[in-house]
Amino acid sequence: MTSAAKNNLGHSDLKISRISLGCVTFGREIGREESFAIMDYALEKGMNYFDTAEAYGNGASEMIIGSWLKERNVRAKIYLGTKILPPYSPEKIIQFCENSLERMQISEIDLFQLHAFHETALNPKVLLAFDKLIKDGKVRYPGVSNFSQEQLTGFLKMQKELGLNQICSLQNNHNLAIQNLGTQALEFCRQEGIGSISFSPLGAGFLTGKYKSSIPKGARFNLQPGHQGLYFNRDGAMALEKLEAASAETGISKVELALAWVLNNPDITTTLVGGRRISHIDQAFAARNVAYWK
């Protein structure tokens, strides 16, 4: 697959790269200079969807992206997605969108996502506010993240009943250890015209095997200790054992094998790849050629 390969994101007209850039590290784990270098390289490689959130670095990620867009004058080449954390209210939806627009120095967000399911996501007033942003030209398409299939079904049902613009994407954690974009969920998304965005293909670094003995200061699991419970368990250990066995059998690194497991799934619209160095992007593109899981 070439770097230019693109997929439509669900029913939208956003034609996004199969490998996209996750910007969670910007302003939290790496600074402006390193972030600029990663975005420059991502664009060079044909990655045209950048995903962030107001919570990443308490807004720092969005601000860094905004500065880069302005300095490089490349807004027309990039689709931007951002997210808002629950609980949700009409006022918060509107205000946080305005805040994100200001931080990124743009007039319209391509994909505005609810960051996680919460009962307030089913409040009709919240959905109407979400839709108003589209009608006002501040958001092109709505999406959701960290929703189960059951939660997604209920959300879609309410959108349809209210006659609102339907979400075009579901963004979920998906890797060898945690599979929140399974076959059934992907088939449901396909039937509903919803694109799929997978994040954390390396399980926040867990699937590299580097956290077996300890978690160093500054590592993802140190900065976000709440994530430890997602991977440091029996299922995570079994996934890592499977990966290590495959690596021993093939001589292919655990990183490339773990990335390939997600990236070679044709039913996933795009996979977010982040990191602290441009070499992490190279690893993802190299993994496209690994056929072990096919």
Question: pLDDT tens, 39-90?
Answer: 999 999 999 999 999 999 999 999 999 999 999 999 999 999 999 999 999 9
Pairing of strands 270-273, 19-22: parallel
Q: For 120-130, what is each residue's pLDDT tens digit?
A: 999 999 999 99
Q: How far is CA 11 from CA 7, 138, 166, 191, 285, in A?
A: 11, 19, 9, 11, 26
Residue 15 neighbours by CB under 8 Å, 6+ apart:
6, 7, 8, 9
Domain borders along the chain are 6-287
Name the maximum alpha-carbon separation found in the chain.
55
Return contacts of 205-211, CB within 8 angstroms, 24+ apart: 206/177, 206/231, 206/232, 206/236, 206/240, 207/175, 207/176, 207/177, 207/239, 207/240, 207/243, 207/254, 207/255, 207/258, 208/254, 208/255, 208/258, 209/240, 209/243, 209/244, 209/254
Distances (CA, A) of 127 to 51, 99, 224: 22, 19, 30
Q: How far apart are CA 56 and CA 115, in angstroms?
A: 11
Give residue 247's Cα distance to chain centre: 26
- For residue 146, which amino acid is it? N
CB 204 within 8 A of CB 173: no
Please give the mean pLDDT across all residues of the chain. Answer: 93
In this prediction, residue 205 carries a pLDDT of 86
pLDDT per position as a tens digit, 177-205: 999 999 999 999 999 999 999 999 999 88
d(CA 59, CA 37): 19
The predicted pLDDT at position 236 comes to 86
Looking at this protein, which amino acid is placed at residue 126?
V
Residue 270 vs residues 8, 14, 18, 139: alpha-carbon distances, Å: 10, 12, 4, 20
CATH class held by domain 6-287: alpha beta
The predicted structure's pLDDT at residue 220: 60
